[in-house]
Homo-oligomer: A and B are copies of this chain.
Amino acid sequence: MTDPQPDAAVAGLPRRGRPGYDRETLLAVCVDVFNRHGYEATSMGMLATHLGISKSAIYHHVQSKEAILGQALDDALGALEASIDAVQAGPGAPGEKVEAAVRGTLRVLVARMPEVTLLLRLRGNSDVELAAMERRRAITRRLGELVEAAQAEGTVRSDVTPRNLARLMLGMINSIVDWYRPNGAQPGHKSVEEMVEAVTGVVLGGLRG
């Protein structure tokens, strides 16, 4: 177990003797701790240590560790679902919808990176996790349906099943949570929209075949 480190989501906030958190900030710190140590390995006591408040003060905001997980997963899944809802309801030929889905998913991953990171690492150890994994699979199926329509249109390769193409696209897209940092200052750092353009170009290249 590593020592508690300053929490990114807390740094920059005014510190009081006993910091009072709004629910959103408290959830953000907890998601960060889950991502660093693993959800299973994180206890309410560890969350209290990282937050610098008592366990009972955490229970003022949330019912349980699992409720925090459930809220974070719902935030991630809700944003991903809203993105594909907008693409499906919007205008455009099937190939254009696939492209819009790629861009939309990448933008959600940047905006909700900690919550999506948590989602991507689930193992299905509880009903909350299993329900989230099912919602994630439904999103993959919906992307597969967009891909299938684009295959019928002839704008996407047809030598791989729509479902497997959707899985491969999402593998490439989801990898950004492991290496892209929106506020990075390293040489050659790309802005969010530059990254979205670059990754979309590579994903679409793969689909064209």
- Report which A residues bind B (CB closer than 8 A): 1-2, 35-41, 121, 123, 125, 157, 159-161, 164-165, 167-176, 178-179, 188, 198-199, 201-203, 205-209
Contacts and interface: CB of A to CB of B under 8 A. Distances in A.
Given A38-B123, A41-B38, A172-B171, A209 B205 contact: yes
Interface of A is mostly: helix
A100 B207 CA distance: 20
Contact of A160 (B38, B161, B198): B198
A203 B206 contact: yes
A80 to B, nearest CB: 16
Contact of A207 (B38, B125, B168, B205): B205
28 contacts: A1-B125, A2-B125, A38-B38, A38-B123, A40-B40, A41-B41, A157-B205, A159-B201, A160-B201, A160-B202, A161-B188, A164-B198, A165-B202, A167-B179, A168-B175, A171-B171, A171-B173, A171-B174, A171-B175, A171-B176, A172-B172, A172-B175, A201-B209, A205-B205, A205-B206, A205-B207, A205-B208, A205-B209
